[in-house]
Amino acid sequence: MTDQNVININEKKPPEWKKYTKAGLFLIILFVLFLTLITNLFIVKEGEYKVIRQFGEVIDFIPTPGLAYKIPFIQTVETLPKYQMVFEVQKEEINTKDKKRMTIDNYAVWQIEDPKKMISNARSVVNAETKMGEFIFSVVRAELGQLNYDEIINDEKSSRGSLNDRVTERVNDLLKEANYGISVTDVRIKRIDLPSENEQSVFTRMVSERESTAQQYLSMGDAEKNRLIANTDREVTELLAKAKADAELIRSEGEAQAARVYNETYSQDQVFYDLYRTLESYKKTINGETVIIIPSDSPYARILTGNLD
């Protein structure tokens, strides 16, 4: 054999399994990288903030919807709500201006405006609601402490409408001063309850007030009724008096008209009219038992005897 042939015989070809091992390893690495990429992609939805933490420290906030990525193993993602939320404030007892006790039940509508400030100062949504609840109770206690008991429970005297607005404004001022990055849209007094030992006395007082109001309405109704009756009686009297006056006027005008007609008739035929008046007087003065004594030359006698000359 030649030297060339010896060299070719001594060369060893790489085994086939090593080629497949390298290809499989490459595919595994690609799959791991792909899986790592997929698992560290996240979606920012409408109505939420995404908070990115690195080793527990906040490094970024994503407020706009879309697709985002975090560094695997060293970064984590936390979600904060962007929409308005309702927080039920814990019931508390307060004292009114006149030293009466009552239980107040509030609720608040709130939202996160600045997630950086909220995370930096309140740390979490639960802590933010706790602080907000403390501010709400403090403001409500101060506001209701300036009102008397009946001004709060009596609907006619209540100023709860403007009270809610004042509480909302004051709580927002306190949250802004504390730099919590949240705000309240509305704070409302949902219910006002009385301590059990005061319920019966308040109920009795309310019944008494309602009875007093009812009696006042009845008195006003009676007074109005009497006024209407008096006005009606006066109008009736005035109408009757006017009717009588009109009747007397018409009667006097009729009598005057009759007298005028009599005078005109008398002037046309005085002899006939004298005869007519004499005959009319007979109707009124003579009946079946009448006895008349008259001179023979009187008009009555001449008419009765037929001597009209």
**Ranges of each domain in the chain:** 17-81, 85-200, 226-267, 269-305
If you search the block for the tokens 């009724």, which residue do you land on? 225
171 SS3 class: helix
Q: Which amino acid does the sequence have at 107?
A: Y
The CATH fold of domain 85-200: Tetrahydropterin Synthase; Chain A (3.30.479)
Average pLDDT value for residue range 240-257:
89
Q: How high is the mean pLDDT of the chain? A: 80
pTM of the model: 0.52
Here the contacts of 242-249 (C-beta below 8 Å, separation 24 or greater) are: none
- Min mean pLDDT across 37-51, 71-85, 112-126, 216-230 is at 37-51
Q: Which amino acid does the sequence have at 252?
A: S
> Which has the higher per-residue pLDDT, 122 or 277?
122
* DSSP H or E stretch at residue 147: none
Q: Is 77 exposed, middle or buried (0-12, 13-18, 19+ CB in 10 A)?
A: middle
User: What is the per-residue pLDDT across 90-115, written as a single tens digit (0 to 9) for each?
Assistant: 888 888 888 878 888 889 999 999 88
pLDDT band, residue 9 (cuts 50/70/90)? very low
CA distance linking residue 304 with residue 286, whole number of Å? 13
Cα of first residue to Cα of last residue in the chain, in angstroms, is: 214
Average pLDDT value for residue range 24-28:
77
> What's the confidence (pLDDT) of residue 1?
46
Contact 106, 188 (CB under 8 A): yes
> What's the confidence (pLDDT) of residue 232?
92
User: What is the per-residue pLDDT across 131-143, written as a single tens digit (0 to 9) for each?
Assistant: 999 999 999 989 8
> What's the confidence (pLDDT) of residue 88?
92
